[in-house]
Amino acid sequence: MRVRALGSFSGGLDGMVAASVLRSQGIDVELATFESPFFSSREGKEAASRLGLPWRELDFTSEIMELLGNPPSGFGKNLNPCIDCHAGMFGILGRIAEEEGFDLIFSGEVLGQRPMSQNRNSLNRVARLSGCGRLLLRPLSARLLPETEAEEKGLVDRSRLLDISGRGRKRQVQLAEVFGFTYRNPGGGCLLTEPNYCSRLKVLMEIPGLLTPGRARLARYGRFFRLSSDTVCLVGRCEEDNTALESLARGEPTFSLEDVPGPTGVLIGDPSMLPELEVLVRKYAGVRD
Ligand code: SF4
């Protein structure tokens, strides 16, 4: 009977090596990338296709929105609740594994690669909180970690797993050559680790009832202004911003000038503040009243 593994996969080098290590043992590997207003599944999809492995997208929006309210394990340096986020993702993979008959779940995490979220305590905590820690294999550091169920049962050959630790990527780069795949340096990453974006998000979070997934997406674009205690707005800086704001506004009041090229503005909050938005749009269009 074939052994089946389902991986949490962002599309980076480590995940690609982890998937290749398992595949080289004859394991059937499938990959899943999580999507939310703060991180995209695009790179996971592209990298899975370069590896030629089956891939699926999993929506993590409601889980991450809830975690932002009160993450049990706290935030990292910015608004990134990494421990609970990882645990939640593995919890979802664990449930899928049970429903669909996967023998194990895995990730490209490396012991000691990130001081806060990938030290030994954090990896253990994530495994415990996920509720499916016994299923969870980290092929890149497996020989430095306790045996998982799949190793104990002989479904995975522990001696052919790796003992990588720390921040360096030298061995992963060498292994990419051995396995013969190309990889890209991570692009967008997670917005919850970006200070500028998080300062906007904090404002949305502190105004009761304002934060929704759609507004979290909007806040990625344009200039950001707080107009009053309960209202903010976004004003495009360039064509790309304007297009994004228009397509993401979905019901939020917007304003742009009809006869003059200029920015698109989007209001979030009290609609009676629309005149304030109009003033800003005129200002950045270079129009004098
Ligand atoms: S960096 Fe973002 S996506 Fe990754 S674990 Fe942390 S919060 Fe989740």
**33-90 pLDDT, tens digit each:** 999 999 999 999 999 999 999 999 999 999 999 999 999 999 999 999 999 999 999 9
pLDDT at 242: 97
pLDDT at 188: 65
- The CATH H-level superfamily of 4-179 is HUPs (3.40.50.620)
pLDDT at 83: 94
Taking CA atoms only, the protein residue closest to ligand 1 atom 2 is 190
**Domain limits, the chain:** 4-179, 194-285
Taking CA atoms only, the protein residue closest to ligand 1 atom 5 is 82
- Positions of the chain with pLDDT under 50: none
Reported as a single tens digit per residue, the pLDDT across 22-42 is 999 999 999 999 999 999 999
Task: Work out which ligand 1 atom sits closest to the CA atom of 36.
Answer: 3
Contacts of 278 (CB under 8 A, 6+ apart): 255, 265
pLDDT at 186: 62
Cα of 19 vs centre of ligand 1, distance in Å, is 20
